Amino acid sequence: MGRVACGSAGLLALALLAACSAAGADGSSEARTDTAGLVVPPMAASAASVVVSPLDKAGNIPTDQTVAVSARSGTLKSVKVDGGKAGDLPGVLSADRTRWRSTRTARPGATYTVTSVAVGADGKRAETTSTFSTVRAGKVFDVEAMTPNKDDTGLTVGVGMPIMITFDRPVTDRVSVERNLVVHSSKPVEGAWHWFDERHVDFRPTHYWPARTNVRMEARLAGVRGGDGLYGRRDVTLDFKIGRSQITKGSTRDHVLTVRRDGRKIRTMPMSAGQGGQWKYYTTSGIHLAMSRERVTIMTSPGIGPGSPGYYRLTVYNTVRISNSGEYVHSAPWSVGSQGNSNVSHGCVNVSPSHAAWFIKNTLIGDPIIITGSPRELEPTNGWGHWQESWKQWLKWSSLKAGPTVLFG
């Protein structure tokens, strides 16, 4: 019996000694007691380890593959993804600092070095370095034109203004490209992109833009896949502002244009519209947008050459273009007697010289000009007829459908 007691005491002494000298599983140096009341020796503090994806020395990595870094038994102190001439790849760290992921697309044909520093439960730093290379680009595409812009429209535009992008090459991976077209606004807006063809994609809100909204469009296209072997050349940013809300409405039956600014009527102008007879001589009904303001415009008869019956070539002043089929709101001193009572034009909206001078001065590119009463409808692709499509029709040609803009911080 005495030997057993002595042995038990020896085991207890060893357990206590281990408890005083070892570190706990949670990194502390204190022992713990299990549910049976026995003293359990703590484990040693864990050292940090890091897992990186893509794997070290991986090649032909797609440019849109996310770079992911995670820490085990510790937290991440820093992560850097250096692409040399391609630049650093930005990313975001999780709230608990155990995971990091890239937030932008890598450049094609680049080699990236991932350097991460983690701190383990034992307080020690662990640095890991790995590299990977991305797939090479066979071709590149770029933004050829963007509207609005400083030269053609000015950077303060009307509430109907779409964002219009033209690419220099056909784009077939529409999802990848559209995902990287980011619209910011200072007021909440729901909108969507719409592909007219493989080179043209436009954005409009569900309804008109809120007046006095600041907008930024970021085309984050550097390295973005646009098709088989096709990648974006660069990022492009556009900043513009929506001005006051001005909407003009006119009727080919009532022969009058009414201008409302921020909901208040500010001008009424007698008008004369297309005389009809032939389809091309009807003014189109629908939601037009002001496309350009021209002090002088040379107008010629549509589809009729010099020497043919009905041919004309006129110099017209103070014109606001509203379609691609030759429709303008413009000064027409020769039809003042008909303005307000009858339609005598070849499709344009005629107003008096004084009203035309006021209208061109007070119109922003992108202001809606709505004409009703004509049997000829404005086609969505005739100029900027974007608002001629219902929201359901607009979304039919969107790859990612509707979504909110990103609010400025």
Question: Over the stretch 352-367, which tens digit does the pLDDT of each residue have?
Answer: 999 999 999 999 999 9
- List pLDDT tens digits, range 61-99: 999 999 999 999 899 999 999 999 999 999 999 999 999
Q: Is residue 38 part of a domain?
A: no
**Which is the catalytic residue, given 194, 255, 288, 330?**
330
Residue from 234, 237, 217 nearest 107 by CA? 234
Give the SS3 label for residue 127: strand
For position 239, which CATH number holds?
2.60.40.3710
Distance from C-alpha of 374 to C-alpha of 41, rounded to nearest angstrom: 90
For position 88, which CATH number holds?
2.60.40.3780
85, 100, 134 — which closes off a domain? 134
Higher pLDDT, 47 or 275: 275
Q: Kindly tell me if the per-residue pLDDT of 282 is higher than 60.
A: yes
Write down the pLDDT at residue 307: 79
Q: Is 256 in the same domain as 362?
A: yes
Omega into 54 within 30° of 0, i.e. cis? Answer: yes
134, 165, 195 — which closes off a domain? 134
Give the SS3 label for residue 10: helix
Mean pLDDT, residues 224-237 taken together = 96
Write down the pLDDT at residue 73: 87
Q: Is 264 in the same domain as 338?
A: yes
Counting residues of the chain whose pLDDT is more than 70, the rounded percentage is: 89
Residue from 115, 111, 99 nearest 63 by CA? 111
Q: Is 212 in the same domain as 122?
A: no
Q: Is residue 169 part of a domain?
A: yes
- pLDDT interval class at 312 (50, 70, 90): confident
Write down the pLDDT at residue 6: 40
Mean pLDDT, residues 204-233 taken together = 97
Q: Is 251 in the same domain as 368?
A: yes
Distance from C-alpha of 39 to C-alpha of 173, rounded to nearest angstrom: 63
Mean pLDDT, residues 20-29 taken together = 40
Q: Is 303 in the same domain as 353?
A: yes
Amino acid, res. 325: S
Give the SS3 label for residue 409: coil
Q: Which residue in the block uniquely carries the two structure tokens 């820490």?
A: 71
Write down the pLDDT at residue 21: 36
Distance from C-alpha of 369 to C-alpha of 375, rounded to nearest angstrom: 17
Q: Is 107 in the same domain as 172?
A: no
Distance from C-alpha of 326 to C-alpha of 281, rounded to nearest angstrom: 10
Q: Kindly tell me if the per-residue pLDDT of 36 is higher than 60.
A: no
Amino acid, res. 105: T
Q: Is residue 325 part of a domain?
A: yes
Distance from C-alpha of 107 to C-alpha of 105, rounded to nearest angstrom: 7
Q: Is 122 in the same domain as 212?
A: no
What the block records as the tokens of 332 is: 């027409």
Measured CA to CA in angstroms, residue 199 lies from 135, 172, 351 at distances of 24, 9, 37
CA 63 to chain centroid, in Å, comes to 20
Q: Is 257 in the same domain as 374?
A: yes
Task: Give 184's strand partners.
Answer: 216, 406
Number of domains in the chain: 3
Q: Is 257 in the same domain as 347?
A: yes
Write down the pLDDT at residue 20: 37
Higher pLDDT, 249 or 9: 249
Distance from C-alpha of 214 to C-alpha of 66, rounded to nearest angstrom: 31
Mean pLDDT, residues 259-263 taken together = 98
Range of the domain at 260: 246-378
Q: Is residue 217 part of a domain?
A: yes
How are beta strands 236-242 and 156-157 bridged, if at all?
A: parallel
Q: Is 183 in the same domain as 295?
A: no
Write down the pLDDT at residue 33: 54
Mean of per-residue pLDDT scores for the chain: 90
Indicate if 20 belongs to the active site: no
Q: Is 352 in the same domain as 301?
A: yes
75, 102, 134 — which closes off a domain? 134
Q: Is residue 71 part of a domain?
A: yes
Distance from C-alpha of 69 to C-alpha of 38, rounded to nearest angstrom: 40
Q: Is residue 342 part of a domain?
A: yes
Indicate if 330 belongs to the active site: yes
- List pLDDT tens digits, range 191-215: 999 999 999 999 999 999 999 999 9
Radius of gyration (C-alpha) of the chain in whole angstroms? 34
Q: Is 287 in the same domain as 334?
A: yes
**Which is the catalytic residue, given 194, 288, 348, 386?**
348
Q: Is residue 178 part of a domain?
A: yes
Q: Kindly tell me if the per-residue pLDDT of 237 is higher than 80.
A: yes
Q: Is residue 221 part of a domain?
A: yes
Q: Kindly tell me if the per-residue pLDDT of 172 is higher than 80.
A: yes
Query: H helices of 94-205, where?
Result: 174-179
- pLDDT interval class at 46 (50, 70, 90): confident
